[in-house]
Structures are given as structure tokens and as C-alpha cells.
Amino acid sequence: MSLRTLYHPEVFQGSLNRKNYFEGWYFKQVAKDFSEVLAIIPGISLAGRQHAFIQVINGITGATHYIEYPVDAFTASNKNLDIRIDSNRFTRTSAQLSIHRDELDLEGELIYSGQMAWPGNPLAPGIMGWYSFVPFMECYHGVVSLDHTVSGRLDYQGKELNFYDGRGYIEKDWGTSMPESWIWLHANTFPETGTSVMLSVAKIPWLGSFFIGFICFVLHQGKIYRFMTYNHTKVRSLKLSDGGFSMELGNRENRLSIVAVQKKAGQLKAPVKGLMDRYIKESIDSEVVMNLQTLSGKEVYNGKAEKAGLELVGNLEELAKFATK
């Protein structure tokens, strides 16, 4: 990761000469009528049996697919988001799919428009803020598009999926390993188009110890509300339920309450020291209720979203304990 690419977290941060390294981009799309939900994750694993991959999860059925490619099938621009894996191409404005394997048949093109990018600055190039500059972290996170419109069709396993006027979201991770435990959520299918929320709370190993880090944004009516480790946000409560959680966050300006319930989930692969051999469950069929208020109690937004992304991974009881200290 160079200083130049650090200020453009959407581009490929690594090198094909890196060892024990992974990088992956997450493209989620939801049909306008919620009838189809698909997340597509292109990436690279540079450990053990090195390979490029495209991972797919169907939010309606919970089916998942992991398609491997040789490393030399992977190319990436270091100037903008432009990832190519064999005949597949992923950019900020489109995804072109052509996968024909026994386990997955996927063909078509999706067009992304009206993207809301994360507004970085010299001291905080991405959503991680100044943590972007901290060395020796096992995992770095970036948000490419907080919300956008999706158009296009995909032929998936012999069925046509129509995403015209749907909603989309793009983020990414890179490093050596995902955190030890985490809660991750994203939703942008609220009744009000253009409202989006992403939240991540994680136990992050660092230099022989660990810390609890959290990043959260709410996009509503064109304004971004930030709830971050680095802007004096506190996790006021984190309660776990069977297949879900409730959380309250607060800082010097706003308060946020989130209740999430996980529904149909599929099994995805996640990296450990660059190896894609950890299995986690993700649902992109979950429900989220969100309430955003000013510190004085004035309601900014209250609403419910379906087809949300939700991951609940690792020792969550321990995570909740340390997060609310």
C-alpha cells in the first residue's frame, strides 16, 4: 500500500508479489421490488494455493458460489477501480460477468449511476479516518459507493434477474486477515431512496494486543452522519439476540439506534493470513430498523429496511462486553 493508493482506497492496494495477502471488493445489488438480491465479491488470495476468485451470494435462496481463477487471470489498475478476472470486469460504474462453470452460470452486465462516494480528505483519506495511516493492521476497510442506482439484467443459473432501477453499494477490505470477531451491517432499501447505513464493530488484533474499532455512517438527504472510533462516538449499548442485535451509538452531535434481525444466510469464505479458508455466514435478506436523532432528541430519521446485509462472526458476547466499556 503506497501513499498514492492510500488516498484512493477503491483501487488495488496490494501487489501480486505480496505474501499472505488478500484484497476483495464487495458489490451488492437489490432489485427495485426486492425480488432479487445478489452480492458479488471479486478478489485475490496470495497465500498457499494462490488464486483470484469471484464469490457470489444469492440473498433470496442463501446459495453461495466460490469460483477460483489463476493469479495471472487477475489484473487491476492502480489509478482507478478497474478489476479484471478472466472475462469479468468490475469498475465504479459497472460489473460485467461471464462465468460458465459446472457450479455457477452467470452472465450479464450491471450499470451503476449516481454514486455517492466517501468524501475523504488529506488527514482522513477513507472511512477509517486517521486509522488509514496506522501500520501493521491485519485488515483495512474502504467504502467505494455509499449508495447508487443499479440498472441491468443478469442470467443467473438459467434465470433472468432484473435489477433495473435497483439499489447498489460497494465496499472493500484488504490486508492479511479479517478481524477476530465482528458485526457488520449495511442497508439502503429504506422507503426514502438515497438513505443508507453501514455499521461495523470489530475486535481488531494489533501488535500483540487488540482494540475495539467501529465505523458507521448514515446517509440521509445527501448528508453523511458519522459515528466512528475517531470522532468521540461511544457504543452506549450492544445487546445480542437470537440471530440479531440492537445497538445504540452516540457522539457530541447525534444518537443512533439500530435493531437488526438476520434472516436467510449463506456461507462465505474469509481470509486468514491471506488464505481463504475461514467460513462465515452472511445474510443479505435481513431487516434493519434505524432511528437517528440529534443530541437534543430531535428525530432526523426513523425507518425500516429489508434485504439488508448482516454478518455476525466470532465471540460476540466478548465483543459486546469490550465495545461498551
State mean pLDDT over 8-37.
Answer: 97
State mean pLDDT over 131-146.
Answer: 93
Q: Worst-scoring range by mean pLDDT, 3-17, 52-66, 143-157?
A: 3-17
pLDDT score recorded for residue 198: 99
Q: What percent of the chain has pLDDT over 70?
A: 99
Q: The C-alpha cell of 27 is what? A: 458489490
Chain mean position to CA 140: 12
Contacts of 210 (CB under 8 A, 6+ apart): 180, 203, 204
CB 97 within 8 A of CB 152: no
Report whether pLDDT(75) > 80. Answer: yes
CB 56 within 8 A of CB 104: yes
Residue 325 CA to residue 153 CA, distance in Å, equals 47
Residue 86 CA to residue 220 CA, distance in Å, equals 38
Structural Rg of the chain based on CA atoms: 18
Q: How far is CA 239 from CA 59, 234, 256, 317, in A?
A: 25, 15, 14, 9
State mean pLDDT over 182-205.
Answer: 97
Report whether pLDDT(130) > 90. Answer: no
Q: The C-alpha cell of 142 is what? A: 474502504
Report whether pLDDT(4) > 80. Answer: no
CB 153 within 8 A of CB 162: yes
Confidence of residue 136 (pLDDT cuts 50, 70, 90): confident
pLDDT score recorded for residue 3: 59
Residue type, 73: A
Residue 61's CB is within 10 A of a number of other CB atoms, namely 12
Q: How far is CA 301 from CA 114, 167, 238, in A?
A: 22, 19, 20
Q: Which residues lie across from 269 on neighbouring strands?
A: 279
Residue 51 CA to residue 74 CA, distance in Å, equals 9
Task: Specify burial of residue 298 (Cβ count, 10 A radius: 0-12, 13-18, 19+).
Answer: exposed
Contacts of 297 (CB under 8 A, 6+ apart): none
pLDDT digits (tens, 9 = 90+) for 211-250: 999 999 999 999 999 999 889 899 999 999 988 999 999 9
Q: The C-alpha cell of 51 is what? A: 488464486
Residue 164's CB is within 10 A of a number of other CB atoms, namely 13
pLDDT score recorded for residue 219: 99
Residue 286 CA to residue 265 CA, distance in Å, equals 9
State mean pLDDT over 192-203.
Answer: 98
State mean pLDDT over 138-155.
Answer: 98
Q: What is the 3-state secondary structure (H, E, C) of 224-236?
A: EEEEEHHHCCEEE
Report whether pLDDT(122) > 60. Answer: yes
Q: What is the DSSP letter of 79?
A: S
Residue 73 CA to residue 133 CA, distance in Å, equals 31
Residue type, 306: E
CB 312 within 8 A of CB 262: yes
Q: How many residues does the chain have?
A: 325
Residue 307 CA to residue 203 CA, distance in Å, equals 26
Residue 281 CA to residue 62 CA, distance in Å, equals 10
Report whether pLDDT(152) > 60. Answer: yes
Look at residue 315 and give its three-state secondary structure: coil
Residue 284 CA to residue 26 CA, distance in Å, equals 12
